[in-house]
Structure 1
Amino acid sequence: MDEAVTTALDAAFTERSVERLTDVGPSWNGANETVGVVFADGGRAFCKVAIDGDGTRIARELAVLRYVAAERPIAVPEVLAADPDADPPYLVTGPAPGRELLDAWEERECDAEGGPRCEALLRRVGATLATLHAERFETHGEIVGSHDRDGLALERAPWPDVLLKTIERTREIGTSERLGHHYDAVIDCVEANRDRLGDAPAALLHGDVAMPNLFVVGDEPVGDADAGGIAPIDWELAHVGDPARDLVRAEDQLLNGFDTRGPDRYAAALRAGYAERAGGLPAGFAARRPIYEVVRMLGRSGFVDQWTTYVDEPMDALVDRAEAELRARLEAV
């Protein structure tokens, strides 16, 4: 990994020396490696390399960062250097604006009793997602790059097919095959519900609305979803799809455990922030939500080894619980 990062930084910054690399914490993506960079001149950056040599994820994230910076009132990190075709493919960005949402969350003890300030943070996340989804596309599709600085190049396809591709992408970056048969079960669920998915609206989705990928920008007055904003990072799973899917995923990643749900008031705050900004929840949200909750199981199944570091139970127990949870979600569709 160090060699890959060094190779990328040498190519990107021929006249700028690196003082040291820093750890950025654990990652559940087995195909990438990301490190913090401290330059000799005092500047800081983050370097992501595709250690599997596949530059498509780097190309996607590069295109989306440029697109969002140009087309959306959402703060994103500045692109400092990138080459999806390099060996290894790499992307270097400046630090994200603001402070980590996780820090603000823990400071307010939101995992315990919480309160209005915790709900206000979630309303801001919901409002940011609504802002991202505000402009609709003519068609769904996988993002394969950019036409120019302001446009996204799409591999157009019906939404169920795009959703299936994101499932395969989850399989590619997953870190465990212990529950590999879950992918087939989820794919079968999507195929069986093509009619319910086919008329979904098309919007730019972030695709990975997890706590470490969100930064709080600006002041945080209680109850004001419009104050400041949320700056998302890590856009490599972005695609053009159903905004309901992004909202379901956000609730799950931000609030839920392995097979437990967070407080209802927190989920309600997230949805309220979205509805306040968008004028309502995404069309078809209630009807398609059960399907997306089935798809979300792959965030457990494909990474069950990672979950063992957060849930104090043996692997076999988590596997049994995942099997039961998937069955319950499939029955709810």
Structure 2
Amino acid sequence: MPFSGKATYSAGATLPEIAEDVSDLIAINSPHDTPLLDALGDAARPARSTVHEWLEDTLLPNESTVDDASIANPATETTFGVADVGVFRAGDLVRNGDSEEIMLVTAVNTGAATITVTRAYGGTTVGTIVDDRVLRIVGNAALEGADADSARFTARSRKVNYTQIFSATVEVSGSELAVRQIGVADELEYQKAQRTRELIRDLENSVINGVAPASDPQGTSTVRRSMRGLLSFISTHVFEPGVDGFPADTTLTEEQLNLALRTIWNSSAGTIDLIVVGGTQKRAINQFVASSRRFTPASDSFKDMVST
């Protein structure tokens, strides 16, 4: 006999008499909104001004390239043009590209932008000198008792950035605060927390992609003060596929990443401990080690769970 009494579905498909089963926990679905800020950590000290200045200095370069298309005999040429003659001094030991050959610089002609070298110094195997070949200075060998060379130095440069005001408005009516909310104990505090998360997300984006106004960067009554991001400060080591010997792959490859890291290290000898990429590049980097990834059991011990 079919049931004829009142059931949960008796009032219709919308179940108007039944209280909704709504969880009182509203989850935060994006715990990694600001990975760069999380990696950098909190600032050592708070900003005390709307403008921040610092000094940067560089080491003298220790490499240049051959700039001479008229080389007749690459294996025996001893005088040739270079792209930056100011890098070299008499007495420099120079490695010829990726070959084993070490050359001794015996003369530098700044007017003609050429250097004269002794090839295969110290019995090293001779290489070839061709246009665009990289020349790396191993070190300078000074003569005992010789006069000091002319002093060489770099000039420090002053860098500047400005603070940016991030703001969001929160407004909740008294009635909204008075009523009981589903999943929220205090609507005002909840709205403040959500807007704060959005401001931190905007700060992360500005740290990377921010751009300062072309004029009046300090801000005026009509010019909004905005901060420069990391990308706007990068002027060297910008790699483009297929340009200047960089691999032409249109998707990130391990060869491209290794070449970029090696080029940066050769220029600075600094430790690279953080790579900032988007989701697509992160997945590509993960695949570099996918073939060598191994999984082991969580436990190496087993026991009989069946009793007799």
> What range is the shorter-chain TM-score in?
under 0.3
TM-score when scaled to structure 1?
0.22
Where is the helix percentage greater, Structure 1 or Structure 2?
Answer: 1
Which protein shows a greater Rg?
Answer: 2
TM-score when scaled to structure 2?
0.24
Highest relative contact order (Cα 8 Å, sep 6+), 1 or 2? 1
